[in-house]
A and B are shown apart, each in its own frame.
Chain A
Amino acid sequence: MDKQSVQVIIETLKEEGIDLAVTLPEEPTFSLTEAMREDPFFQAVTVAGEGNGLAFCAGAALGGRRVVFVTGIAGLLVGTWALSQMGMVYGAPILILASYRGDFGDHSGIPGSQLLMFKQVAEPLLGALRVPYRIVNQKATLKRMIQEGSFACQDYSHPIVLLLSGEVLW
């Protein structure tokens, strides 16, 4: 993720009043999570597993914090159990930024078998969990997508996933 995208995302999250940033570091979004960690506006929390990370976000969100969880498809897979509870059952308003590993344009170099799996699983998984999502792959619409995603998150009171891809991620 280049500096420009990181900047736009951080600026927009601040405008949305999202000041709790939770992650388990992963490569595609690392520059974003590092920048958030260094920015005093955010309370930055690193978690040991995405499952407990998502439950943490839910507790904070239902408790009144504005929270963003930064992860990837792999993290959503690990956190599927937590997401099923905190989403479908409890409707916790968690904004999730997830790198769309395996989407076209992923030249990151991880094995093709993994990339293919992520590509095949990502969207059906979110569909199965009934988590509304959008693919965010253009810089021109990045800001608006985050604003809309954040609004929807609060309005529906439900986790929302923005799958980062294309020129936004790579």
Chain B
Amino acid sequence: MLAVTSLSINAPFWFNVRPQGPNFFALNMGLCLPFALGLSVAFPKRKVIAIDSDGSLMNDSSSLITVADVNPANLVAFVMDNGSYAFMSSTFTTRKTDLAKMAQGAGIANASTVKTLEEFSAAAKQAMESAGPTLIVAKVERDAGRVSADRSRTSGRPMREWFMDAVRRHPDYQGGR
């Protein structure tokens, strides 16, 4: 399974949860979902998960349309929606924007919003066991503090090298033939 995270606390949290394996951390605004989509096309037989944020997805919501059209069965996108831009002001999801509905409008049939851990657990399990693409908007609280993780593993060129190393060693890797 390959994973891609956006900026925000998604990156260090995910690193602490699953440091090994092909992970691409801390993609900037709007880039997490389309990057994960690309990865899903490179590894069609493996689940690819995107751990995105509401602000990031809204920066380029058109990526939802591309996901629907490519329609990869192996893509699962989680949108951690805390209704805020980091420690700054609130995003549009605290007002009128419904990301799951936008995803449905884009053409992603399996798009839902979850508010409790039980709902999240059930939706995630379902997504990992069935054909996608699936989008799960998880309403979460704002995080209280900053979390740090090893920068050399979660950002920039060093992160990219760790990722490429894991990808090259993956049994399904198609490159370099």
Q: List chain A positions with a Cβ less than 8 A from chain B.
A: 24-27, 30, 33-34, 37, 46, 48-50, 74, 78, 111-114
Main secondary structure of the interface of A (DSSP, over half): helix
CB of B86 within 8 A of chain A? yes
Q: Which residue of B lies closest to A111 (CB)?
A: B155
CA A48 to CA B102, docked complex, whole Å: 14
Q: Which residue of A lies closest to B58 (CB)?
A: A48
Q: Cβ of B155 and Cβ of A114 under 8 Å apart? A: yes
Quote the shortest CB–CB distance from B57 to chain A (angstroms): 10
Quote the shortest CB–CB distance from B28 to chain A (angstroms): 7
11 A–B contacts from the bound complex (CB under 8 Å): A24-B59, A25-B88, A27-B86, A27-B87, A37-B89, A46-B92, A49-B30, A74-B28, A113-B155, A114-B28, A114-B155
Q: Cβ of A49 and Cβ of B89 under 8 Å apart? A: no
Q: List chain B positions with a Cβ less than 8 A from chain A.
A: 26, 28-30, 58-61, 85-89, 92, 151, 155-157
Q: Cβ of A113 and Cβ of B30 under 8 Å apart? A: no
CA A57 to CA B151, docked complex, whole Å: 37
Q: Which residue of A lies closest to B92 (CB)?
A: A48
Quote the shortest CB–CB distance from B103 to chain A (angstroms): 15
Q: Cβ of B29 and Cβ of A74 under 8 Å apart? A: yes
Contacts of B155 in A (CB 8 A): 111, 113-114
Quote the shortest CB–CB distance from A121 to chain B (angstroms): 13
CA A138 to CA B91, docked complex, whole Å: 32
Q: Cβ of B30 and Cβ of A78 under 8 Å apart? A: yes
Q: Which residue of A lies closest to B97 (CB)?
A: A48
Q: Cβ of B156 and Cβ of A49 under 8 Å apart? A: no
Highest count of chain A CB atoms <10 Å: which of B30, B88, B151: B88
Q: A78-B30, A111-B156, A114-B156 are in contact. Are A25 and B60 (CB under 8 A)?
A: no
Given contacts A24-B85, A30-B89, 9 further A-B contacts (CB under 8 A): A24-B59, A25-B88, A26-B85, A37-B89, A48-B59, A49-B30, A74-B29, A114-B155, A114-B156
Contacts of A25 in B (CB 8 A): 85, 88-89
Quote the shortest CB–CB distance from B94 to chain A (angstroms): 11
Contacts of B28 in A (CB 8 A): 74, 114
CA A74 to CA B55, docked complex, whole Å: 14
Contacts of A50 in B (CB 8 A): 59
CA A48 to CA B156, docked complex, whole Å: 25
CA A48 to CA B86, docked complex, whole Å: 14
Q: Cβ of A34 and Cβ of B156 under 8 Å apart? A: no
Q: Which of B59, B88, B89, B151 contacts A78 (CB 8 A)?
A: B59
Q: Cβ of B88 and Cβ of A27 under 8 Å apart? A: yes
CA A38 to CA B156, docked complex, whole Å: 36
Quote the shortest CB–CB distance from A120 to chain B (angstroms): 13
Contacts of B85 in A (CB 8 A): 24-26
Q: A49-B58, A49-B60 are in contact. Are A112 and B89 (CB under 8 A)?
A: no
